[in-house]
Structure 1
Amino acid sequence: MFTESRRLRDELRTTHARIAALEAERNDYLRKDRRAGVLTLDAFREAAAAALRGSQRRGEPAALVLVDIDGFKALNGRRGAKAGDEALAAVASRLRELVRGGDVLGRTGADELAVVMPGANLAGARGVAERLVAILEQTGPVTVSAGIAVDGGTGQLDGLMADASAILERARIAGGGRVGAPGRQPSVEPSRGAIGALALALSERDRGTGEHAEQVVALAGAVARRLNLDGEDVERIAAAALLHDIGKVAIPDSILSKPGALNDEEWSVMREHSVIGERILRAVPGLGPVARMVRHGHENFDGSGYPDGLRGDEIPLGSRIVLACDAFDAMTSERPYREAMSQADAIAELEAKSGTQFDPRVVAALVGYLVDRTPVDYAARTAA
């Protein structure tokens, strides 16, 4: 009888433990935002407030980093809610990799994440935010802006959120893709003068390259608008088109001005220009997204390009646009070693390499623009 009673008590304790575990799992599930994989707003506020109170009791500093996805509304409008959810999840995943175990990370808005960092000062919070911005500039799929606020000993979450939000707004107004912090005004969007100066330097280095860039800008802008990209994206793509060959300033004249075809060794040197171009542009505040487009300006849609062998949607859309427009202008321009192609033949070449070298959507948009602009050439081509 005693043995049976003990067995029943053990079973009851086991059942209670299982119920408690299931309840804890359920509560944890309800506290997590399913899209971002971080705490929901309510759960974040509860955990963040507790963390701030703990820092206050210990006399430690604390900081809050507020992160906002640049152009999120336009991304949802252009590619749908699924793309927005994927971008949010990607940013949250990157941020989770950067924060510490005791930090509190949550989703505080449709395109906004926040992390409370107990024990962290301004420098520590800024380091996390700047690494996040840099990583996303290089890897995508989106860029972010961040605002930092530091607790002055009050332990009040609402005050920190308000301060960080105001600083974040200044970062967004300055052009996005940057970090704002107390006592530090975010750098403004690079002036047209800075971009123009780089373009002038390229033109002075090689007049033909500069003129070619201007033609690519016109084509790339037209294609971007046909793909219904927003104004900010069109401007960035135009900048990438203007500066896509900026790395050639470091290429020796013997290669850059060679009248004939390049040999394998010379091509190896020439292929470095996209990486060099990226390094040059990353030195200009706010040009990170443009630098990324320039780096990948010779990636082919099927993965056979360089420098990283990206394929399909892994390649920034701006890079895919510039590649096709660059190729078309090159084909229809006279070179010392060959005559210029007709527009009809160049269009045929674009279509032949659609899906291999070029993005089919980009080719369709570019051909559509060219046909609308000069229908006579297209009619001659189809008649032939």
Structure 2
Amino acid sequence: MTTSPTARRLLRAVQALAILGLGLYAAQAAIAVCGKGADAFFETYVYTGLVATGAALCFARVLTSPRERVAWAVLGGGLAAWAAGDAYYVAALSDMLDPPLPSFADALWLALYPACYVALVLLVRERVRSFPRSLWLDGLVGALAVAALGSALVMGAITAPGADSAVITMDLVYLCGDFLLLGFVVGGFALTGWRPGLAWGMLGTGLATSAVADAYFLYQGAIGADPSSTLPAALWPASALIVGFAAWSAPVQRSVRLEGWRTLAMPVAFASIALGLLAVHTVSPLPAAALVLALATLAMIIVRMTLTFRENLELIEGTQREAGTDALTGLANRRRLMTDLAAAIAEATPERPCGLAMFDLDGFKQYNDRFGHPVGDTLLARLGRRLSETVGHSGRAYRLGGDEFCVVASGTSIDLEELSAQARAALTDSGRGFTVGSSYGLVLVPEEATDVPGALSLADERLYEQKDTNRRSTVTRQTSDTLMQVLKECQPELDRHLHDVAELARALGTRVGLRAAELDDVVRAAQLHDVGKVAVPDDILDKDGPLDHSEWEFVRQHSVVGDRILSAAPDLSAVAELVRASHENVDGSGYPDGLVGDEIPLGARVVTICDAYHAMTSSRRYRERMSRADALRELRRCAGAQFDPEIVETFCALLTPAKRPQARFSPATQRAH
């Protein structure tokens, strides 16, 4: 709270005068330092003035600081009612031999209790941001234990036989108010985790002091003693001043954490009080109220133990969940993967295998370097959510760390292949200036691995094989695109031809069963099979009539030139081999090497048929284009001499879907590709 220097000096002066007044009051009560004749003055004016000072300090706090204003206003009102009750008693009732009971003064004094209860609740809500349910029970246990102890000490004397019923009733009302006030104080301490701090500690001490003083004087009055003008009487004004001083102590807002021996010490102390009272009861019977409260204390401690056990279980579950969860993406992490994978492998069967797919992002490092790590983390989180949504109930997604992800699922091998492909697509993103893809390795258990280390090792190996293939594919694509552009610049009319031949080769290669990497090489070979023609003079390429023998010899070298051009890029070596053999004939009459039958790579035989078909169905300067039917008849006529007859039939079936004959390749044919 912020106050001016003048206000602070005034506050210090008031506090100093109040302490001085309290000291004089205590000295007078103890040893009559000012003589017995001054007792009335001290009881009438000093006592009431000290209580009123406590109320004034609370109200001053309300006027100077908006924080906790309502709580301190209510508490100041309670202290003011207390002081007013004293003033009324002195003015109207003190001279009576038998004052009425209850009186208006009692009403004012009793007003302190609800004011204290409300203020304590408001201050707890303001100063303690959050607290576990078990701390509520600690407060209740403490209140019950204190009430049980107080009942055991005071209740018997107050309710002794022969006492006036009105006196007993009022004493019980005050006693219950005091016990409840002590319960609120103990509960407030509990809700701070038994670490109340200076301000809360002073407030609680002040209110507890008032309750203890009440109980003491009620007990003294019940046994017939005269406690007036004695040292314990100083506890009442002292409690009011402590509360007023607490109003000016800096409040501390805290979140309560249950940790250490503090969480056990206080419940054990309260349980010891309850057990001690029950032990005393076996020797000397206690009032029924004390016995009931002690039993209620033990019952609440049992409830507290149960709740603590549940909270500990929740903490353990939360810790285990956090230990198995990736903080960035919310996916399961590597620790959880090891557990889940072991369980999945144990349940896997050949009929329903378990699939382990490991993924690694391609291009993420460049993305991270360009846009920064926070943006990279955002992308990882987004890809992680997409992966989780894609996998759904089919399996479980994991983040292993960095840009590595994993999926474990069960199903048929086809289902697992499809799920892996979908997961790979989910881990792909692109935008202006970036493309992030992924590579993966899939392992089927128990077909390909039988334990966790084996499955992880094989999946990792396949992942990096594909990653290397993708890297080479990127380089290959860029190189082949460059060569395609060179061809386009040299012979623009070839662009459409090469594109159409490549599409035919893709469809035919798929039909004859080429794998993905082989099919990619065949498509590139179809696109680049004429790249060697850049070395053939234009007057030969543009000649309208038939070529003579020497010109043909020159043209036949273009596949060799194409081989040399493509072989300059190591990643295009497989494509170079297909381009070199793209003009070989199965009867050995082709060029440049005169290969026969299955000596010709399967991909080259595919490109040869597609190139020939497109050439026949395209217009040339020296002849008209053939119809599709005539071109297919020509392919069949030349099958066995120029073309592979099995592939010709597959090609014809591809272009006449209604018939759809299924070509079956011999083992030798399959080996040749």
- Scaled by the length of structure 1, the TM-score of the pair is 0.49
- TM-score by structure 2 length? 0.29
Which protein shows a greater Rg?
A: 2
Higher RCO structure, 1 or 2 (CA under 8 Å, sep 6+)? 1
Structure that is richer in helix per residue: 2
